Structure 1
Amino acid sequence: MLGAVETRTVSPVFVGRAGELDALNTALARATAGAGEPQALLIGGEAGVGKTRLVEEFAAEARRRGAVVAPGGCVEIGADGLPFAPFSTALRGLRRELPGRLAAAAAGQEEELARLLPELGTVAPEARRDEQGMARLFELTARLLERVAAEHTVVLALEDLHWADASTRHLLSYLFRTLRTGRLVVLATYRSDDIHRRHPLRPLLAELDRLRTVHRIELPRFNREEVGRQIAGILAREPEPDRVDEIFERSDGNAFFVEELAVASREGHRTGLTDSLRDLLLVRVERLPESAQQVVRFVAEGGSTVEYRLLSAVARLAEDDLLDALRSTVNAGILTPAPERDGYRFRHSLVREAVSDDLLPGERSRLNRRYAEALEADPTPVPADERVTRLASYWYHAHDAAKALPAVLDASVEARRRHAYSEQLGLLERAMELWDAVPDDIRATLRPLDYAEVYPPCGCDPETTPLRYLDLMAEAAVAGRFCGERERAMKITKRALRLLDEDPDPLRAAWFWVQRSRLTQSLARGDGWAELSTAQDLVRGLPPSEVHADVLAVAAGWWMLHEPGPEAMAAAERAVEYARMVGAHDIELNARLTLGGLMVDAGDIDRGLAELYGVKDRATELDVITVVCRSHVNLPSVLEGVGRSEEAVGLLREGVRLTRRLGLLDTEGWVWCNLAESLHSLGRWDEAAEAVANAQHLEQSAKPRAGAWMLLAHLALGRGEMAAAERHLSTARASFGTHDPMPQYSLPMASVAIGIAAAEGRLPDARAELLTALDTGLPPGTQRYGWPLLLAATTAEADAYGNPATEPDRPQILEHLRTAAKTLATGVPVWQAYDIWLRAELLRAEGRPAPEEWAAVVAALEPLERPYDLARARFRLAEALLASGAGEDERARATELLRLSGAVAEHLGAAPLARSVAQLARRARLAPATAAREPAPASTDPADALGLTGRERDVLRLVAAGHTNRRIAEQLFISPKTASVHVSNILAKLGVSGRGEAAALAHRLGLFPASAGKRQAAG
Structure 2
Amino acid sequence: MSYLCAMLGAVETRSVSPVFVGRADELEALNDALARAGAGEPQALLLGGEAGVGKTRLIEEFAAASCREGAVVAIGGCVEIGGDGLPFAPFSTALRALRRLLPDELAAAAAGQEEELARLLPELGDTSRGRHDEDGMARLFELTVRLLERIAAERTVVVLLEDLHWADASTRHLLAYLFRTLRSGRLLVVATYRADDIHRRHPLRPLLAELDRLRTVRRIELGRFSRAEVGRQIAGILATEPEPSQVDEIFARSDGNAFFVEELAVASTEGCRAGLTDSLRDLLLVRVESLPEAAQAVARIVAEGGSTVEYRLLAAVARLSEDDLIEALRAAVGANILLATTDGDGYRFRHSLVREAVGDDLLPGERSRLNRRYAQALEDDPALVPADERAARLASHWYHAHDAAKALPAVLDASVAARRRHAYSEQLRLLERAMELWESAPEEVRAALRPVDYTEVYPPCGCDPAATPLRYLDLMAEAAVAGRFCGERERALKITKRALHLLEDDGDPLRAAWFWTQRSRLVEAQGRGDGWHELATAQELVRGLPPSEVHADVLSNVANWSMVHRPGPEALLAAERAVEYARMVGARDIELNARLTLAGLLVESGDIEAGLAEAHDVKERARELGAAYVVGRAHVNLPSHLEGIGRSRDAVAILREGVELARGLGLLDTEAWVWGNLAESLHSLGRWDEASEAAVNSERVGQSAKPRGFHATVHAVLALARGELAEAGRQLAAARRHFGSHDCVPQHMLPLSTLAIGVAAGEGRLLDARTELVAAVRHGFPPGTHRYGWRLLLASAIAEADARALPAAEPGRAEALGRLRTTAKALAANVPVWQAHELWVRAELLRAEGRDTPDDWSDTVTAFEPLERPYDLARVRHRHAESLLLSGGGEEARHRATELLRPARAVAEHLRARPLAESVALLAQRARLTLAAAPERMVLAPADPVEALGLTSRERDVLRLVAAGRSNRQIAEELFISPKTASVHVSNILAKLSVSGRGEAAALAHRMRLFPPEADPARTAG
> What TM-score do the two structures reach when normalised by structure 2?
0.92
Residue in 1 that maps onto 2:949: 941
Q: Structure 1 residues 5, 773: CA separation in 2 closer, same or farther (over 3 Å shift)? A: closer
| Cα distance per residue 1:281-310 (max 9 Å; x no partner) | 222222222222221111111111111111
2:23 to 7, 10, 17: 17
Q: Structure 1 residues 506, 148: CA separation in 2 closer, same or farther (over 3 Å shift)? A: same
Q: Distance in 2 between matches of 1:868 and 1:8?
A: 70
2:434 to 431, 436, 439: 431
Q: CA deviation at 1:222?
A: 1.9
* Runs of 4+ more than 6 Å apart: 2-9, 930-939, 944-949, 951-961, 986-990, 992-998
| Cα distance per residue 1:432-489 (max 9 Å; x no partner) | 0000001111111111121121234223221111111111111111111221211111
Q: CA deviation at 1:952?
A: 7.7
Q: Distance in 1 between matches of 2:698 and 2:92?
A: 30
Residue in 1 that maps onto 2:371: 368
Contact map agreement 2:698 2:710 (CA 8 A) in 1: no
Greater CA drift, 240-249 or 167-176: 240-249
Q: Distance in 2 between matches of 1:175 and 1:954?
A: 56
Q: Structure 1 residues 518, 995: CA separation in 2 closer, same or farther (over 3 Å shift)? A: farther
Residue in 2 that maps onto 1:634: 637
Residue in 1 that maps onto 2:460: 457
Asked if 1:522 is matched to 2:525, the reply is: yes
Q: CA deviation at 1:313?
A: 1.4
Residue in 2 that maps onto 1:1008: none
Residue in 1 that maps onto 2:762: 759
Residue in 2 that maps onto 1:491: 494
Contact map agreement 1:895 1:931 (CA 8 A) in 2: no
Q: Distance in 1 between matches of 2:369 and 2:128?
A: 38
Asked if 1:348 is matched to 2:365, the reply is: no
Q: Which amino acid is the alignment partner of residue 949 of structure 2?
A: D
Greater CA drift, 874-883 or 36-45: 874-883
Contact map agreement 1:909 1:935 (CA 8 A) in 2: no
Q: Structure 1 residues 956, 942: CA separation in 2 closer, same or farther (over 3 Å shift)? A: farther
Contact map agreement 2:964 2:1002 (CA 8 A) in 1: no
Q: CA deviation at 1:497?
A: 0.9
Q: Which amino acid is the alignment partner of residue 962 of structure 1?
A: P
Residue in 1 that maps onto 2:614: 611
| Cα distance per residue 1:850-871 (max 9 Å; x no partner) | 2222222122112211111112
Contact map agreement 2:114 2:125 (CA 8 A) in 1: yes
Q: Structure 1 residues 457, 6: CA separation in 2 closer, same or farther (over 3 Å shift)? A: closer
CA RMSD of aligned residues (A): 3.1
Residue in 2 that maps onto 1:1013: none
Contact map agreement 1:603 1:825 (CA 8 A) in 2: no
Q: CA deviation at 1:224?
A: 2.2
Asked if 1:787 is matched to 2:790, the reply is: yes
1:836 to 835, 839, 858: 839
Q: Which amino acid is the alignment partner of residue 302 of structure 1?
A: G
Residue in 2 that maps onto 1:86: 90
Q: How does 1:292-331 map to 2 (within 5 A)?
A: 292-331=295-334
1:580 to 565, 583, 587: 583
2:71 to 60, 67, 70: 67
Residue in 2 that maps onto 1:280: 283
SS in 2 for 1:386: helix
Q: How does 1:12-411 map to 2 (within 5 A)?
A: 12-33=18-39, 36-123=40-127, 125-127=129-131, 129-274=132-277, 276-340=279-343, 342-411=345-414
Q: Distance in 1 between matches of 2:12 and 2:114?
A: 43
2:600 to 597, 601, 605: 597
Q: Structure 1 residues 595, 6: CA separation in 2 closer, same or farther (over 3 Å shift)? A: closer
SS in 2 for 1:380: helix
Unaligned runs of 5+ in 1: 973-977, 999-1019
SS in 1 for 2:175: helix
Greater CA drift, 637-646 or 679-688: 679-688
Q: How does 1:446-485 map to 2 (within 5 A)?
A: 446-485=449-488
Q: Distance in 2 between matches of 1:182 and 1:987?
A: 53
Greater CA drift, 368-377 or 714-723: 714-723
SS in 2 for 1:125: coil
Q: Structure 1 residues 855, 940: CA separation in 2 closer, same or farther (over 3 Å shift)? A: closer
Q: CA deviation at 1:552?
A: 1.0
Q: Distance in 1 between matches of 2:446 and 2:931?
A: 90
SS in 1 for 2:814: helix
Greater CA drift, 547-556 or 981-990: 981-990
Contact map agreement 1:905 1:914 (CA 8 A) in 2: yes
Residue in 1 that maps onto 2:975: none
Q: Which amino acid is the alignment partner of residue 228 of structure 1?
A: G
Residue in 1 that maps onto 2:979: 962
Q: CA deviation at 1:835?
A: 1.6
Q: How does 1:526-545 map to 2 (within 5 A)?
A: 526-545=529-548
Contact map agreement 2:806 2:964 (CA 8 A) in 1: no
Number of aligned residue pairs: give it. 986
Q: Structure 1 residues 937, 454: CA separation in 2 closer, same or farther (over 3 Å shift)? A: farther
Q: CA deviation at 1:808?
A: 2.8
Q: Distance in 1 between matches of 2:12 and 2:423?
A: 40
Contact map agreement 2:764 2:1001 (CA 8 A) in 1: no
Contact map agreement 1:396 1:404 (CA 8 A) in 2: yes
Contact map agreement 1:264 1:271 (CA 8 A) in 2: no
SS in 1 for 2:979: coil
Asked if 1:623 is matched to 2:631, the reply is: no
Q: Distance in 1 between matches of 2:1012 and 2:932?
A: 33
Q: Which amino acid is the alignment partner of residue 924 of structure 2?
A: A
Q: How does 1:807-886 map to 2 (within 5 A)?
A: 807-886=810-889
Unaligned runs of 5+ in 2: 1-6, 973-977, 991-995
Contact map agreement 1:805 1:984 (CA 8 A) in 2: no
Contact map agreement 2:699 2:711 (CA 8 A) in 1: yes
Greater CA drift, 803-812 or 989-998: 989-998
> What TM-score do the two structures reach when normalised by structure 1?
0.92
Q: Distance in 2 between matches of 1:153 and 1:852?
A: 67
Q: Distance in 1 between matches of 2:12 and 2:692?
A: 63
Residue in 2 that maps onto 1:719: 722
Residue in 1 that maps onto 2:699: 696
Q: Distance in 2 between matches of 1:731 and 1:758?
A: 19
Q: Structure 1 residues 619, 955: CA separation in 2 closer, same or farther (over 3 Å shift)? A: farther
Q: CA deviation at 1:889?
A: 2.6
Q: CA deviation at 1:690?
A: 2.1
Q: CA deviation at 1:979?
A: 7.4
Q: CA deviation at 1:710?
A: 0.5
Q: Which amino acid is the alignment partner of residue 429 of structure 2?
A: G
Q: CA deviation at 1:73?
A: 0.8
Q: Which amino acid is the alignment partner of residue 22 of structure 1?
A: E
Q: CA deviation at 1:907?
A: 2.1
Asked if 1:915 is matched to 2:918, the reply is: yes
Q: Distance in 2 between matches of 1:149 and 1:934?
A: 57
Q: Distance in 1 between matches of 2:841 and 2:850?
A: 14
Q: CA deviation at 1:953?
A: 13
Residue in 2 that maps onto 1:672: 675
